Amino acid sequence: MQANRVVAPRPLVERAVYTYAQAYGIPEDRWADFSREFAPVAEAQVRRDLILDWLVEHHDLRATDAEVEQRIAELAARRGTPVAELRASLEKAKRLRDLERGLTEEKVFTFLLSQSTVEQT
C-alpha cells in the first residue's frame, strides 16, 4: 500500500474512527484522544479499502451470487447444518454482506498473487 499514492479522504477516515470508537465502546469524552491515536490505523484501512474497491471494479472481481451460495453450502456442510437454515441465520444477523465482501477480497488477493512475480536473490 505504501507504493500506492492513494489519499484517504478525511471524512472517510473520520467516519472509520467514529465507527471503531463505537465498536470499542469508547466513551464520548475520550473520542478526541482515541481519534488522535487511532487515526493512522483508520487512514490505512480507508486506503486499503479504496485500493480493493478500485481493483474489484476495474478487474470485475466482485463475488457472484453463485459463489456466495457455494460458500454458504460449504459452511453448512462443515457445520452439519441445512443450507436454508444457515442462510436464514446469516440473513437475520445481517452477515451475508460480510460473506460476500470476504469472498470478494479472496478473489482480489488471488488476482494480485497471479500478477506478482517472485525473483530469487
What residue ranges do the domains of the chain occupy? 1-58, 62-121
- Residues 42, 16 contacting (CB under 8 angstroms): yes
Which of the four pLDDT bands, split at 50, 70 and 90, describes residue 4?
low
**Residue 107 to residues 71, 72, 75, 100, Cα–Cα distance (Å):** 13, 16, 18, 11
Inter-residue contact 7 to 54 (CB < 8 Å): no
Look up residue 5 and give its amino acid: R
- pLDDT at residue 1 above 90? no
| Type of residue numbered 1 | M
pLDDT at position 23, please? 92
**Residue 2 confidence (pLDDT):** 52
Confidence (pTM): 0.75
Cβ pair 30, 16 in contact under 8 A: no
List pLDDT tens digits, range 87-110: 999 999 999 999 999 999 999 999
